């Protein structure tokens, strides 16, 4: 039995590695890829490979499923555009929806869940009102959560559309306001790039840095392999398209206080996916890189999470990063009380 | 983890379990199904303790796999066979894209399929199991698989799942050696699985042309009623777990089905009444 | 100045009549709409033009027999508002 998620990382980095898999090896790879939400990316990556006939329909299904996810993500973005058009304020798409809206390689085969958008802090309440008018409603009417979100987090409580059953997360910064590091949201808004639809996406450097910030500060590295795959695709595409990219990236990383996070993410991406990184930006290998890699690969061939202890360590760490200690205690207490 | 590979209709499952018991039970009940030893599978289902120490102490089975629901409640170990069946259903419901899935039972005669769909308690499962003992080929009691390219129905003949009163009714016509263990006090009441007739297993790759769709309703005076096509369409979208996920493919498959397959609502109070009504409709089909 | 509306491009929609209702599959959203007869008629007369509710009512009465033309424009306007919330027509 495969003990970690290495086969997935290998297949994404070098599709030829799948040629040595036997039946059980393929089944393991598919379970891992599904668990890491990378099955669509993998399916696209293996296009043109000699894949066993038992596996071909599974990959075809994955491509069709992510095609549909792409279409629905674009539709949700368009619904938000229509709802917010009267406000005349910038609506910046984030994460997966941004990748597909800007037709980037990172969007190819990507699974996309909620719609994430970023708006200026001073337009937040108008945005909230316009969305409520257009059929979105609060997911949970819990005042603690509302207060928690409004005071301490980087987004409105999630809204769900009452007919389409799709969620939208409205951010006014990219990370919790209590978290360190604190990227500069205004600078990200100012540099955003307008698409034909009238919606915006972040500038290339900011888009990459937002993905980096996510990896470093959001969650317990769950979804980290996909996050780093995004980073790999973005780095390859942006650095190829623009000779100045690494220089601009350095400037923006300093502006957003994300230099060490960027360096770490680049090292991890290079380790896992052989991402072509500018050595000066990536910096020296650190011992803790090894712990990150161990955590990122903690998934066995059944698709199960493994390395509980390593996961725990990262979970606690990620909460400390996001919330000052007292708030953490309050947050956990509320969770224990309500189950 | 112990493991077992099962093939049901077009789908290959890999089941992995912390305990041997559910896999042994499954292996016995699925003994006539084709086995695959090449290691390939479309889906993995996992049965694991909810917490590590719950492997031995009041063991409870957490169901997961390639596709899973975040809030699926665990089941006690003596219901692990049910857990395995639920796990396989869940993979189909959330992950299968090669057919339009209709939550319907189906039986076949002369290459033509009768589909029955309706809310739980409509008796669609029991009716299909009963017809399977009376000259029809059993195709499945949970999902009918509609091929979007050909319009044909594919068989998914998992174990038949009988609930409460239906268990005694089927005991009267099916030999004991085709029954699995009785599970009492499950979230759905008493449950007992039955192996489909051997013929259903041997012919599980044979497709059938959908010829009649029924919406059975148990407990009312026997009657057949016409239904509007819009109502049929809407109710079938509600009875399909992947209609939305298939996008335009699903729309085309379902509109074709509704346009071409005769459909009735059927009220009945006993299996005999239902059989009579079905025979009367079936004999008039083109 | 009255609000102008334009219908979603017809190649993005699949219409399928079923007895009393019509199904409209919207490719861009993947949503199936079940609508009464008036809606396909509105979309048909709109073509690719930007029109007001009054324009549309006028075109409808040319092609169809509107029984009570008194409040027809109000009915059409109400449908247009619903259709724009579904993305089947857009305010321009």
Residues A250-264: tens digit of each pLDDT? 999 999 999 999 999
**Of the partner residues C14, C18, C30, the one whose CB lies closest to the CB of residue B230:** C18
Interface test with A, best of B73, B97, B249 (most A CBs within 10 A): B97
Supply the pTM of this predicted model.
0.90
**Of the partner residues C20, C23, C27, the one whose CB lies closest to the CB of residue B255:** C23
Q: Which carries the bigger pLDDT value, residue A46 or residue A185?
A: A46
CA distance A107 to B212: 43
Other CB atoms within 10 Å distance of the CB of residue B35: 12
Average confidence (pLDDT) over A63-91: 94
Q: Which carries the bigger pLDDT value, residue A311 or residue A82?
A: A82
Pairing of strands B60-65, B160-163: unpaired
* CB A207 within 8 Å of CB A234: yes
pLDDT digits (tens, 9 = 90+) for A228-251: 999 999 999 999 999 999 999 999
What chain B residue is nearest to C29 in terms of C-alpha separation?
A: B247
DSSP 3-state helix, strand, coil percentages of chain B (rounded to 5)?
Answer: 30, 35, 35
Inter-chain contacts counted by CB atoms under 8 A, chains B and C: 32
Smallest Cα distance from A21 to chain C, Å: 36
CA distance B6 to B36: 7
Q: Which carries the bigger pLDDT value, residue C34 or residue B249?
A: B249
CA distance B211 to B260: 8
* Lookup result for tokens 């095609």: A67
Residue A198 in tokens: 């009238």
CA distance B99 to A322: 44
The pLDDT of residue B67 is above 60: yes
DSSP letter for C77, please.
Answer: H
- In which band, very low, low, confident or very high, does the pLDDT at A66 lie, cut at 50, 70 and 90? very high
Q: Give residue B32's pLDDT.
A: 95
- Kindly determine whether residue A72 and residue C90, on different chains, have CB atoms separated by under 8 Å: no
The pLDDT of residue A143 is above 80: no
* CB B192 within 8 Å of CB B162: yes
Average confidence (pLDDT) over B165-181: 92
The pLDDT of residue B66 is above 50: yes
Average confidence (pLDDT) over C1-24: 90
Residue B236 in tokens: 């079938």
- Kindly determine whether residue C20 and residue B230, on different chains, have CB atoms separated by under 8 Å: yes
What chain A residue is nearest to B12 in terms of C-alpha separation?
A: A54
Count, in order, helices (H) and strands (E) of chain B: 8, 16
CA distance A188 to A207: 9
- Kindly determine whether residue A34 and residue B67, on different chains, have CB atoms separated by under 8 Å: yes
* Lookup result for tokens 């396909």: C40
For residue A145, report the phi and psi dihedrals to the nearest 5 degrees: -65, -40
- In which band, very low, low, confident or very high, does the pLDDT at A338 lie, cut at 50, 70 and 90? very low
The pLDDT of residue A326 is above 60: no
Q: Where are the domains of chain C?
A: 5-87
Residues of B in contact with C17 (CB under 8 A): none
Chain C interface residues facing chain B, Cβ-Cβ under 8 Å? 14, 16, 18-21, 23, 25, 27, 30, 32, 34
The pLDDT of residue A339 is above 50: no
With residue C72 as reference, give the H or E element that holds it.
Answer: helix C72-86
CA dihedral B245, A34, A95, A293 (to 10 degrees): 180
Average confidence (pLDDT) over C47-66: 88
Query: What secondary structure does DSSP assign to B215-282, as a single string?
Result: EEEETS--EEE---HHHHHHHHHHT-SSTTTTTHHHHHHHHHHHHHS-EEEEEESSHHHHHHHHHHHH
Smallest Cα distance from B228 to chain C, Å: 7
Q: Give residue B11's pLDDT.
A: 97
Q: Among candidates A51, A41, A130, which has minimal Cα distance to A88? A: A130
Residues of B in contact with C30 (CB under 8 A): 244, 247-248
- Establish if A81 touches chain C: CB-CB under 8 angstroms: no
**Cis peptide bond upstream of A181, omega within 30:** yes
Other CB atoms within 10 Å distance of the CB of residue A284: 8
Average confidence (pLDDT) over B112-120: 92
Q: Give residue A325's pLDDT.
A: 44
The region of weakest confidence among A22-36, A175-189, B78-92, C46-60 is A175-189
**Of the partner residues C29, C84, C85, the one whose CB lies closest to the CB of residue A75:** C29
The region of weakest confidence among A34-38, A217-221, B122-126 is A217-221
Q: Is C5-87 a domain of CATH 3.90.930?
A: yes
CA distance B104 to A314: 45
- Kindly determine whether residue B247 and residue A68, on different chains, have CB atoms separated by under 8 Å: yes
Other CB atoms within 10 Å distance of the CB of residue B19: 17
Q: Give residue A322's pLDDT.
A: 47
pLDDT digits (tens, 9 = 90+) for A163-182: 888 889 898 876 655 556 67
Give the chains touching C; criterion: ≥3 Cβ pairs < 8 Å: A, B
pLDDT digits (tens, 9 = 90+) for B196-235: 999 999 999 999 999 999 999 999 999 999 999 999 999 9
Q: Give residue C69's pLDDT.
A: 58
- Kindly determine whether residue C85 and residue A72, on different chains, have CB atoms separated by under 8 Å: no
- Kindly determine whether residue B1 and residue A31, on different chains, have CB atoms separated by under 8 Å: no
**Of the partner residues C28, C30, C85, the one whose CB lies closest to the CB of residue A135:** C85
CA distance A276 to A270: 7
- Establish if B233 touches chain C: CB-CB under 8 angstroms: yes
What chain C residue is nearest to B227 in terms of C-alpha separation?
A: C19
Smallest Cα distance from B61 to chain A, Å: 15
Inter-chain contacts counted by CB atoms under 8 A, chains A and C: 22
Average model confidence (pLDDT) across chain B: 92
Smallest Cα distance from B9 to chain A, Å: 14
**Of the partner residues C14, C18, C25, the one whose CB lies closest to the CB of residue B229:** C18
Q: Give residue A327's pLDDT.
A: 53
- Kindly determine whether residue B251 and residue C20, on different chains, have CB atoms separated by under 8 Å: no
- Kindly determine whether residue C31 and residue A164, on different chains, have CB atoms separated by under 8 Å: yes
For B221-251, letters b (16+ CB in 10 Å) and e give eeeeeeeebbbbbbbbbebbbbbbbbbbbbb
Q: Give residue A180's pLDDT.
A: 60
Question: Is the sign of the CA dihedral B25, B28, B32, B34 positive or negative?
Answer: positive
Q: Is A6-338 a domain of CATH 3.40.1170.10?
A: no
Average model confidence (pLDDT) across chain C: 88
For residue B214, report the phi and psi dihedrals to the nearest 5 degrees: -120, 145
* CB C45 within 8 Å of CB C56: yes
**Of the partner residues C14, C18, C25, the one whose CB lies closest to the CB of residue B258:** C18
Residues of B in contact with C12 (CB under 8 A): none
What chain B residue is nearest to C22 in terms of C-alpha separation?
A: B230
- Kindly determine whether residue B234 and residue C14, on different chains, have CB atoms separated by under 8 Å: no
**Of the partner residues B228, B247, B258, the one whose CB lies closest to the CB of residue C30:** B247
Pairing of strands C5-7, C21-26: unpaired
The region of weakest confidence among A80-84, B28-32, B67-71 is B67-71
pLDDT digits (tens, 9 = 90+) for B53-64: 666 667 789 989
Inter-chain contacts counted by CB atoms under 8 A, chains A and B: 48
**Of the partner residues B1, B39, B46, the one whose CB lies closest to the CB of residue A22:** B39
Residue C82 in tokens: 């619903």
Smallest Cα distance from B62 to chain A, Å: 12
From the centroid of its chain, how far is CA A78? 20
* CB B108 within 8 Å of CB B27: no
For residue B66, report the phi and psi dihedrals to the nearest 5 degrees: -60, -40
What chain C residue is nearest to B232 in terms of C-alpha separation?
A: C18
CA distance B145 to B253: 11
CA distance B213 to B151: 14
Q: Give residue A323's pLDDT.
A: 46
Q: What percent of chain A lies above the pLDDT cut of 90? A: 61
pLDDT digits (tens, 9 = 90+) for B137-166: 999 999 999 999 999 999 999 999 898 888
Interface test with C, best of B100, B255, B261 (most C CBs within 10 A): B255
């Amino acid at each position: 039995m495969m003990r970690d998620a290495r086969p997935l990382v290998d297949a994404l980095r070098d599709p030829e590695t799948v040629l040595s898999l036997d039946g059980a090896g393929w089944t393991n790879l598919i379970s891992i890829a599904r668990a890491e939400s990378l099955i669509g990316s993998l399916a696209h990556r293996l296009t043109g490979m000699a894949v066993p006939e038992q596996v071909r329909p599974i990959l075809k299904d994955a491509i069709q499923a992510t095609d549909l996810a792409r279409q629905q993500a674009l539709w949700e973005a368009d619904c938000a555009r229509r709802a917010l058009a009267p406000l005349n304020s910038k609506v910046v798409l984030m994460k997966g929806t941004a990748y597909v809206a800007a037709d980037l390689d990172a969007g190819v085969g990507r699974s996309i869940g909620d719609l994430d958008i970023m708006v200026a802090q001073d337009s937040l309440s108008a945005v909230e009102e316009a969305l409520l008018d257009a059929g979105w409603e609060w997911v949970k009417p819990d005042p603690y959560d509302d207060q928690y979100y409004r005071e301490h987090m980087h987004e409105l409580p999630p809204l769900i559309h009452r007919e389409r059953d799709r969620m939208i997360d409205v951010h006014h910064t990219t990370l919790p306001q209590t978290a360190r590091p604190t990227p500069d949201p205004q600078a990200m808004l100012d540099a955003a790039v307008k698409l034909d639809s009238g919606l915006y996406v972040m500038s290339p450097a900011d888009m990459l840095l937002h993905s980096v910030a996510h990896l470093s500060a959001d969650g317990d590295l769950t979804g980290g392999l996909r996050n780093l795959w995004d980073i790999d695709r973005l780095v390859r595409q942006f650095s190829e398209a623009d000779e100045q990219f690494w220089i601009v990236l350095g400037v923006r990383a300093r502006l957003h206080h994300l230099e060490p996070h960027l360096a770490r993410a680049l090292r991890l991406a290079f380790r896992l996916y052989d991402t072509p990184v500018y050595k000066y930006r990536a910096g020296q290998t650190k011992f803790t890189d090894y712990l990150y890699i161990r955590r990122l690969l903690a998934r066995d061939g059944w698709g199960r999470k493994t390395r509980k202890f390593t996961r725990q360590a990262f979970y606690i760490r990620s909460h400390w990063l996001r919330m000052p200690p007292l708030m953490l205690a309050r947050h956990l207490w509320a969770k224990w009380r309500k189950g | 983890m112990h493991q077992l590979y099962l093939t049901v209709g077009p789908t290959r499952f890999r089941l992995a379990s912390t305990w041997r018991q559910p896999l042994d039970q499954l292996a016995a009940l699925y003994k006539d199904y084709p086995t695959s030893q090449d290691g390939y599978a479309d889906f993995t289902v996992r049965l694991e303790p909810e917490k590590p120490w719950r492997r031995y102490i009041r063991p409870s089975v957490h169901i997961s796999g390639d596709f899973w629901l975040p809030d699926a409640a665990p089941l006690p170990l003596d219901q692990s066979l049910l857990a395995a069946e639920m796990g396989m259903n869940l993979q189909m419901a959330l992950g299968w894209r090669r057919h339009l899935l209709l939550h319907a039972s189906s039986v076949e005669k002369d290459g033509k399929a009768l589909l029955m769909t309706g809310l739980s308690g409509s008796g669609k499962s029991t009716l299909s199991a009963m017809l399977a003992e009376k000259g029809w080929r059993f195709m499945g009691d949970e999902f009918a698989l509609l091929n979007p390219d050909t319009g044909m129905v594919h068989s998914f003949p998992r174990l038949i799942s009988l609930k409460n009163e239906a268990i005694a009714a089927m005991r009267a016509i099916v030999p004991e050696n085709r029954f699995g263990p009785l599970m009492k006090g499950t979230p759905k009441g008493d449950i007992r699985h039955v192996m489909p007739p051997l013929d259903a297993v041997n012919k599980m790759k044979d497709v059938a042309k959908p010829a009649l769709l029924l919406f059975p309703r148990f407990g009312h005076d026997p009657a057949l009623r016409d239904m509007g096509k819009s109502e049929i369409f809407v109710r079938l979208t509600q009875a399909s777990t992947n209609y939305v996920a298939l996008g335009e493919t699903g729309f085309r498959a379902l509109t074709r089905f509704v346009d071409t397959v005769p459909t009735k609502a059927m009220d009945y109070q006993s299996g005999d009444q239902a059989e009579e009504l079905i025979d009367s409709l079936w004999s008039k089909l083109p | 100045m009255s609000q102008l509306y334009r219908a979603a491009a017809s190649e993005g929609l699949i219409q399928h009549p079923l007895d009393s209702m019509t199904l409209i599959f919207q490719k861009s959203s993947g949503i199936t709409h079940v609508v009464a007869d008036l809606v396909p008629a509105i979309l048909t007369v709109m073509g690719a033009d930007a029109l007001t509710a009054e324009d549309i009512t006028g075109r409808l009465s040319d092609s169809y027999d509107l029984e009570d033309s008194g409040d027809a424009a109000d009915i059409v306007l109400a449908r247009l508002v619903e259709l724009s919330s579904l993305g089947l027509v857009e305010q321009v």
